[in-house]
Amino acid sequence: MARALTVPMPFHTPFYAPLVAGVGLGHFAQEDLEVTVVPAATYPRGTMQALLDGEIEICLGGLMRSFELADRTGRVVTHFAEVCSRSGFFLLARQPMPRFKFQDLIGKTVIGFAEAPTPWQCLLTVLRRAAVDPARVRMERERPLADAIAAFRAGEGDFLETTQPAVEELVAAGAAHVAVSMGEATGPVPFTSYMATPDFLAREPELVRRFVRAVYRTQRWLAASDPADVARVVASAFPAMRTGLLERAAGRFMRQRTWSADPLLRRPGYAYLQDILISGRFIQRTHPYAALVNTAFARDVMAAEMGPDEGR
């Protein structure tokens, strides 16, 4: 009998296509895992608390969640397989801006959203790198993502930071234009990964190894596929999104190498994200890589699939 796992997805977006594709392609089922994907909003207390309470065992989420938890409480939730290696968010403008530069945001209003701080923290870092004082940009991020998108549609703000499917939907409707990809502007960073408690990883190592094998098999499939293939496999998870728009969304992510090529969450990306969160004052102190990241499962799976040299 297959082992059932409920895995929350932070937002219902093609940004997290690797999880949905792993289910759709049967890669988890091949490892005798019955994975059910649910929205994180299913857990009103938050997925981190659900993990800590044992209500769920594996969750897809941002490394910043573990940084914040460790900073605030000293407790640890461990990330063991990288999924998204870049931000999947985009800065949209009302008019075409083919020569957009971040100085164009000075004196303007950028509508963000309340749920996830990492996109905002990345924007702060990119602004400083462009010699733009963030205080000179009006950033609104009090509203939930859906309300932020609705506000922009209604004429509020000058720019909107959002992800798919809203990007393709707004662009197709002529209501917005992509000014810049925040994934490209920020650069490679371990944006999203699978996480679990250290107790769970120690208690069920073979299950985790099977899970990571399925993740890696899906990653290799994504690397060898084109946007049409991806759209076809994940379409049932996004029934409200037209096939053409879903294919465009996948293509935009694939061109900038948003999705990780393998499950290994590497030290340089960890350090970069930590610097982003410290400079943005989201966390107050540094945390050792080994404290929040477990690479053993990824290294074992990669070595077994590709040979020990390639798995380093």
The answer to which of 39-48, 71-80, 106-115 has the lowest mean pLDDT is 39-48
| Overall average pLDDT of the 257-267 stretch | 97
Q: Is 90-186 the same fold as 3-86+189-306? A: yes
Beta bridge partners of residue 84, listed in sequence order: 192, 259
- Each residue of 138-159: pLDDT tens digit? 999 999 989 999 999 999 999 9
What pLDDT is attached to residue 309? 40
pLDDT of residue 42: 81
The pLDDT confidence band at residue 115, using thresholds 50, 70 and 90, is confident
Q: How many CB atoms lie within 10 A of CB 30?
A: 13
pLDDT at 122 over 80: yes
Burial label, 171 (beta-carbon count in 10 A; 0-12, 13-18, 19+): middle
List CB contacts of 307: < 8 A, sequence separation 6 or more: none
CATH no., domain 90-186? 3.40.190.10
Q: How far is CA 92 from the centre of its chain?
A: 19
Query: What pLDDT, on a 0 to 100 scale, did the predictor assign at position 193?
Result: 98
In the chain, what are the domain boundaries? 3-86+189-306, 90-186
As a whole number, the mean pLDDT across the chain is: 94
Binned at pLDDT 50, 70 and 90, residue 312 comes out as very low
Quick: pLDDT tens for 29-68.
999 999 999 988 888 778 899 999 999 999 999 999 999 9
DSSP helix/strand/coil, 253 = helix
CATH class as words, domain 3-86+189-306: alpha beta
pLDDT tens-digit profile of 158-205?
999 999 999 999 999 999 999 999 999 999 999 999 999 999 999 999
Residue the block writes with tokens 């290294």: 299
Please report how many Cα atoms fall inside a 13 Å half-sphere around the Cα of residue 170, on the Cβ side.
30
* 80 and 193 Cβ atoms separated by less than 8 Å: yes
